[in-house]
Amino acid sequence: MTQYDYIVIGAGSAGCVVVNRLTEDPETTVLLLEAGNPDTKPEIQIPAECANLLGSEVDWGYFSEPEPYLNNRKIFCPRGKVLGGSSSINFMLYVRGNPHDYDYWQALGNPGWSYQDVLPYFKKSENSSRGADAYHGVDGELSVNDLIAPTAISQRFVNACVALGYDHNPDFNAKQQEGAGLYQMTIKDGKRHSSAAAFLTPILDRLNLTVQTDALVTRLLFEGTRVTGVEYLYEGTLHQARVNQEVILSAGAFDSPKLLMLSGIGDAEHLQAMGISVVVDLPGVGQNLQDHPVVSVVYRATQELHPATTNGRDIGSAIGEAGMFVHSEGNLDVAPDLQLFSCAIPWLPPGYSLVDWGFTGVASLTHPQNSGSVTLQSLDPSDTPIIRLNYLQSQSDVQKLVTGIQLLRSLFHSSFFDEFRGEEVAPGATVQSGEALVAYVREVCNTTYHPVGTCKMGTDPMAVVDPELRVHGVEGLRVVDASTMPTITTGNTNAPTIMIGEKAANLIKGAGRVPQ
């Protein structure tokens, strides 16, 4: 049986980073197991095609259970099933979050995770088109660029925000997050720059790296409470691989807790009810699921909105180009509670009539009050987990999204959009009362595809990993992905997940120093 120093499960946003850093030492052997296939699907590389990747063969295509506060709707929860993971199917926005997010992580009992602690890891990964400064790096593998040809809608959205009295913010990833501006993107030479493209593809020729795609890990192998290897399914046959040092679980917020539970790590009562022998009783596994609920406002456009295209397709454009971070209630001592996106397409909720040309405003709740869970459906590793998002149990969350709708309407009814604005398609001009808007929110509320928190970091009884991302009560096992976030970050979660991969690699290697 083949042995490796490290086995990494999942070639996603964090996993690709960990593999890159560990194999820098030619004496360190690493096996990377990915359940999906290589990232060869052409649409992956075309930024404007990102929405068409959702529900395709490179997406796990998960759904939540019927959500009781969303009129019992099941919510589509896409996750990348491909090299690069969700960074190969996401909308490519590079948003680090708010300094308050990381200072709060440290305050929760996670030393080394304050904003000043994690900023060097963001910079280490980054090759910023803006050049090097106190907030940005240029020596990293990940290309972070400004859009070359944003749509007319995008710039007008920023102008409308400023006209309403909000700050113009040219860089959401610098000192201040509040304000309106254009998003930075993980796009390089007009193509998506996923975690796989940045960190994995350039090192595939390293002799100490073995990459196996289409390999579904079915369970962790133990001697007592020490992880000694993994079992995985490949081409219909079960295989095993042994590990000398550590297994790094980077399967994401749905599949990392699922594999832990299948392996006997989780809430003892749930495991016993499923007929699984308990290795370690960790009740927090699969709990604390957090995500960003969203609602949209859609207008018909009076003309085509896209910039100049190449062969009928704008390969360098993305869907959500402009946005704003804002406090709905004016409390500037905490992170903004709303994130807005402007899109030059009609992103209509289900049940609304399609239009040829349109533009959309999206309001995302950055810090919802309620959390959900991930549990096992069966003992079959190929079965999807049971996902409960538990959106909008809190009435204050509903009201903040109503505020987001009202703000988007104010922006789109400014003079900057007179040239393009047709009728309001969703929720529609007749939906004006508070009661009607609340009903609309519950009817259309969806996800921004940012699930985190299900293997949270900390030292409290519900924590799954310690501040060095080692699983409590287990030797030789870390979780390194978005599931370890104790609380969700303010904004898109890809950049923070890559940062977690960078910091974890440093911890694993015992480097003992923060990169400068």
In the structure, what pLDDT confidence band is assigned to residue 130 with cuts at 50, 70 and 90? very high
In the structure, what pLDDT confidence band is assigned to residue 306 with cuts at 50, 70 and 90? low
3-state secondary structure of 502: helix
Please name each of the domains of the chain with its CATH number: 1-39+89-142+193-290+452-516 (3.50.50.60)
pLDDT digits (tens, 9 = 90+) for 90-123: 999 999 999 999 999 999 999 999 999 999 999 9
227 or 311, higher pLDDT: 227
In the structure, what pLDDT confidence band is assigned to residue 317 with cuts at 50, 70 and 90? low
Mean pLDDT for 187-211 is: 97
Residue 314: predicted pLDDT? 47
Specify the DSSP class assigned to residue 457: B
Residue 356: predicted pLDDT? 86
Specify the DSSP class assigned to residue 212: E
Three-point CA angle 345, 349, 350, nearest 5°: 125
Residue 316: predicted pLDDT? 54
Most distant CA pair in the chain, distance: 69
In the structure, what pLDDT confidence band is assigned to residue 148 with cuts at 50, 70 and 90? confident
**pLDDT at residue 1 tops 80:** no
**pLDDT at residue 6 tops 90:** yes
pLDDT digits (tens, 9 = 90+) for 252-288: 999 999 999 999 999 999 999 999 999 999 999 999 9
Q: How far is CA 119 from CA 97, 101, 400, 515, in A?
A: 11, 12, 30, 10
Residue 354: predicted pLDDT? 81
Residue 480: predicted pLDDT? 98
Mean pLDDT for 320-345 is: 90
- The answer to whether 130 and 171 have CB atoms below 8 angstroms apart is yes
Per-chain mean pLDDT for the chain:
94
Mean pLDDT for 392-398 is: 96
Residue 104: predicted pLDDT? 97
In the structure, what pLDDT confidence band is assigned to residue 147 with cuts at 50, 70 and 90? confident
Residues 6+ apart with CB under 8 A from 475: 225, 226, 227
In the structure, what pLDDT confidence band is assigned to residue 312 with cuts at 50, 70 and 90? very low
Q: How far is CA 5 from CA 11, 60, 245, 281, 400, in A?
A: 17, 29, 5, 27, 48
Tell me which residues are annotated as active site.
450
Whole-model pTM? 0.96
Mean pLDDT for 313-319 is: 58
pLDDT digits (tens, 9 = 90+) for 71-99: 999 999 999 999 999 999 999 999 999 99
Distance CA 488, CA 490 (A): 7
Residue 189: predicted pLDDT? 92
- The answer to whether 505 and 512 have CB atoms below 8 angstroms apart is no
**pLDDT at residue 482 tops 70:** yes
DSSP codes of every residue in 247-262: EEE--HHHHHHHHHHH
**pLDDT at residue 311 tops 60:** no
384 or 351, higher pLDDT: 384
**pLDDT at residue 343 tops 50:** yes
Task: Of 400, 401, 405, give the one whose Cα is nearest residue 427.
Answer: 405
pLDDT digits (tens, 9 = 90+) for 38-60: 999 999 999 888 888 999 999 99
